[in-house]
Structures are given as C-alpha cells and as structure tokens.
Chain A
C-alpha cells in the first residue's frame, strides 16, 4: 500500500532531513513511527501526504507515485491528522468542517449527511455537531480533526502526535478510536505506550535514518536500542522491570 524506496529529502538542498529510507507497508497494518525530536517523523508524513514533493528516490501509495501529477489522486487516498488541530479546522462548526472534505469530492444531500454523522459517531462526538469550533477544548478539537479525515474514508491515515495534550481518559479513548478505524494507519509519536497499544509494527528513525523496523513488541522492549536513539522504554515496561 505504501512503498518507500531510497527516499531522501532535504528542505534547503544542503542538510538531509531524511536519508535513504525504504520500507513497504501493507493495507490494514498499524505502523508506529518513532524517533526523538527532529528525527524527521513529521517530514516523512508530509511527504506521504503529498505536501512535500521534491524528494529523491521513490514514494508510492497504492501503486501511485507521489508526485505533482498524481497529487489529487494521492490526496484522495490519504488523510493527514495534523499535530496542531487548531489549524486543521477552519470552518465555523464541527459539522461544516467534517463535511468540507466529502463536499469537495462532490458528495451532497443525504449521502453527505450520512458520511458526516458516521465520522462523528466513530469518534463519539455526535453531540458536538453544531458546536462552534472556537469554543471547544483541545481534546474535543483533536477528535473533531480526526472526524474531518474519517469522513473522507481514506485508505491511509497519517497521525502526527495524536495523543499530545490529551488527558488520560481521552488518551485511552483515542487509542480505542484508532484501534476501531480500518485501513492503513501510520502514527508518528513519542508516546511509546500509545504506540504499544495500537501498532503491530514500528519503524524507528534517528536523525533522518531508518534504524530498524519490526514488530512493535520487539522494538519497544529493547532498552539499548531505544536509548541509543534518544528514547526511553514505554512507562508500562519500566514499571514491569522494577
């Protein structure tokens, strides 16, 4: 579904932010993308979403090259949940914002309403449908932002730090929601406990290089590997050791 082949990217043409990354992800998987601050996680997601196109190497989504020519088709297949939900949401009410994507793809009337309501139901915020977005809490905005993506029914969903700013209950809630979404999911995060609870495979990057990829359980229990890349064991693992 998502194929990267020797992908290299630099913002300024000098310093490589991502270098020589290759992997192959299948439909239905949930992938954790971990790495310290500045490792290049967000950059990688932006490339997959078609926001940064002048990379070297190859990036394919569902067989389509991610390049300027295929942009519309690629974007139809992918959804990107921003780290900062405030700038992802720009219309006045939750309903309007969730309807924005399907509308752009020509959906109207009953069909539109069904898509919007089903997306809101998946994140359990049906009752916020007519609420003005500017009067919602950070956690509610995050859920609304996820709904704006779900309503487009993408085949690949990219999450950038989805659990940032959520309280424990909402974080749990989010984990359940992510687990309930079908399709390929790629989650970039430092929240290794969340990765542990949602992802079957994990990719570790450090300073733009792919360090290793494999089963989540193997990678997240390897203390030496994580610490070498500037990360720590998930909290739940740390307790178990004592």
Chain B
C-alpha cells in the first residue's frame, strides 16, 4: 500500500472510530472540549524543570485511555509526525542551557536536559490529550460543542470543511499521481517541469470536489447548526458532563498547585527512616 493510501485509510479509520465512540458516549462534547482545553493550558503552564509534576499530569491521559478503551499505540502511529516534531522542538535545549542543576554520582544533569525532558513530556501529553478528545467526540460533535460555546456558524463551518477538504485533497493527489505514473512509466516521482501545472490543477480539481461536498451538505439541510443530539447525552448530559468537567479540572488544579507526588515520596521516605 502506498504512503498516501495509508494516510487516507488512517484518517477514515480514525473518523469512523471517533464516530462510533461518540455515539455511545454519555458525556456532552462541550465538557470534553473544556476539560481538554483546561488540561492543555495547565500542562503548558508547568515550570520548565518540574518533571515530577508533569508526570502526575499524565494520570489524566492514562485514565482516559483505559476508561474509553483507546489504544496508546494506535495513537502513537497516527500522531507520529506531530510527536516527532515536538521532540525536535525540545532537542536544542541542552545546547542552550548548560547550567548544572543536579549532580548524582558521576552523572551531571544540566538545566537544558531537564527542560528538554519537560518540553518533550508537555508535547506528548498535549498531543495525546487532543487526540483522545477527538477520538471521543468526532468532528461533528466537536463542531456542535463549538456551536454550544457560541463560536460563530461561519467559523465552525470552516473547521468542518477544512477537515473534509484534507481527505478530498489527499484523494485527488492520489488520483492525479496515479494518472501521471501510468503515463510516465519508469519515472521516479513527478518531473519538476510539471509541478506547477500539477499543483494548479490539483487545487482546481480538489476545490471543485470540495464544492460538491459542501453542496451535498446544503442540499440535505445543513445550515451551520448541528442537530446531533445523542439521546443518552441529552438526558444525563448536563449533570454528568458538569461533574466530569468539574472533577477533572479540580484534579488538574490540585496537581498544578500542590506537588502531590513529591509529598507522597517524602512521606514514604519519612516512614522508612
């Protein structure tokens, strides 16, 4: 299977999985969105040397993964390019910040090494948080949540269309490069001479198809509102969603303000003595 085909399949697969999960979920998408945003905000706000504090924040990801039956490995496979990018971002830190902050045995730990660690953990946690949130809501529910939060119709429609456009674009690239390869056998890739016209044509064709998709939505009554009420959510939704959001955000704040893990460690040590 070609890389492109894999990417398309991956997107479709994730979309379908998210759709299924959100249909069963009893938690309102607004609560999930709020928790996710709060989580990302709090994770990012941790000081740059606080590795243990951040490790505490990973509790949310682990518990969500287990409760919602989400695969960490699949998440890694789907998000690997974004994760790689995040790792690269932190990789320069050891060269910039050479201040020594710790010395145990023969090992010296510099500030740069620690901040690289925290940056790396922050990246992984936020990527996973966003990914898990998406896998529990799906694009329709997510857009509905945005509408509930009074994001304007136009903006929400743009989000939805960009998401759909990515798939249309990938498919169009696949179709056109197949047509090209069939008529240029033995050639590797697409000749640089035709890049310009290839890109132009690609844009026109994919835009036409995206227009069709949008027309198809309009013709079936889409008007920027999301009538995606899921019965279970409407009944228990508000209460359960509020408890879910308040609970998690409370825990995040606790983990942020109180070094719970360090305290627990100290208690253990003092018992040992």
Residues of A within 8 A of B (CB): 49-51, 72, 75-76, 78-80, 82, 84, 86-93, 96, 100-101, 103-106, 108-109, 132, 134, 148-149, 152
B213 engages A90 (CB within 8 Å):
yes
User: A132 touching B221 by the CB < 8 A rule?
Assistant: no
Give B217 Cβ to nearest chain A Cβ, in Å.
7
- Which residues on A sit within 8 Å (CB–CB) of B218? 51, 75
CB pair B19–A93 under 8 Å, yes or no, is: yes
* In the complex, residue of chain A having the shortest beta-carbon distance to the beta carbon of B160: A90
Residue B40 lies at the interface, judged by CB distance under 8 Å to chain A: no
Question: Bound complex: CA of A148 vs CA of B220, how far in Å?
Answer: 9
Identify the closest chain A residue to B23 (Cβ): A96
CA distance A78 to B218 in the complex (A): 12
A-B pairs with CB below 8 Å: how many?
71
Besides A72-B221, A104-B221, 8 more A-B contacts (Cβ < 8 Å) are A51-B215, A75-B220, A87-B212, A91-B19, A92-B19, A96-B19, A134-B8, A134-B9
Q: How many angstroms between the C-alpha atoms of A77 and B124 in the bound complex? A: 49
Is B231 positioned at the interface, with any CB of A under 8 Å from its CB?
A: yes
Q: Please, which residues of chain A bring their CB within 8 A of the CB of B9?
A: 134
With A75-B218, A84-B212, A96-B19 already in contact, the answer to whether A132 and B12 are too (CB < 8 A) is yes
- A200 to nearest B CB, angstroms? 26
A104 partner, pick from B8, B15, B16, B222, beta carbons under 8 A: B222
B204-226 interface bits toward A, Cβ cutoff 8 Å, 1 = contact, 0 = none: 00000100110111111111010
Q: Which residue of B lies closest to A88 (CB)?
A: B216
Most B-side CB within 10 Å, residue of A108, A134, A148: A134
CB-CB nearest in chain B for A100: B220
Given A92-B15, A103-B227, A134-B12, A87-B213 contact (CB < 8 Å) = yes
B229 contacts partner chain A, Cβ-Cβ < 8 Å: yes
Q: Given A72-B223, A152-B221, are A103 and B19 neighbors across the interface (CB < 8 Å)?
A: no
| A residues less than 8 Å from B13 (CB atoms) | 132
- Of all A-B residue pairs in the complex, the 7 with the closest CB atoms, nearest first, are A104-B221, A87-B212, A101-B220, A92-B16, A92-B15, A88-B216, A134-B12
Q: Are A108 and B229 in contact (CB under 8 A)?
A: yes
B89 to chain A minimum Cβ distance, whole angstroms, is 32
Interface size class of B (residues with CB under 8 A): 20 to 34
Which residue in chain A gives the minimum CB-CB distance to B140? A91
Report the Cα distance A49→B217, complex, angstroms: 12
Q: Is B164 an interface residue (CB 8 A)?
A: yes
B81 at the interface (CB under 8 A from A): no
Judged by a CB distance under 8 angstroms, whether B95 is at the interface is no
Tell me, in angstroms, the Cα distance from A55 to B71 when the chains sit together.
54
Given A87-B209, A92-B15, A92-B19, CB of A152 within 8 Å of CB of B220: yes
- Interface residue? B228 (CB, 8 A): yes
Contact B221 A82 (CB under 8 A): no
A108 cross-chain contacts in B, Cβ below 8 A: 227, 229, 231
Which residues in B have their C-beta under 8 angstroms from that of A152? 220-221
- Distance (whole angstroms) from the CB of A104 to the closest CB of chain B: 3
**Known contacts A90-B164, A92-B12, A132-B16: A79-B228 contact under CB 8 Å:** no
Q: What residues of chain B lie closer than 8 Å to A75, measured between beta carbons? A: 218-221
Tell me the nearest residue of chain A to B9, going by C-beta.
A134
Q: How far is the CB of B226 from chain A (nearest CB, A)?
A: 9
Would you give the shortest CB distance from A46 to chain B, in whole angstroms?
8
Q: How far, in Å, is A237 (CB) from chain B's closest CB? A: 34
Give the most central of B8, B213, B217, B220: most A CB within 10 Å.
B220
Kindly state the separation between the CA atoms of A222 and B92 in the bound complex, as whole angstroms: 79
Across the interface, name the chain B residue whose C-beta is closest to A98.
Answer: B220
Closest to A151 in B: B220
18 A-B residue contacts at CB 8 Å? A72-B221, A75-B218, A75-B220, A76-B221, A84-B209, A84-B212, A87-B168, A87-B213, A89-B216, A92-B16, A100-B220, A101-B221, A103-B228, A104-B225, A134-B8, A134-B9, A134-B12, A152-B220
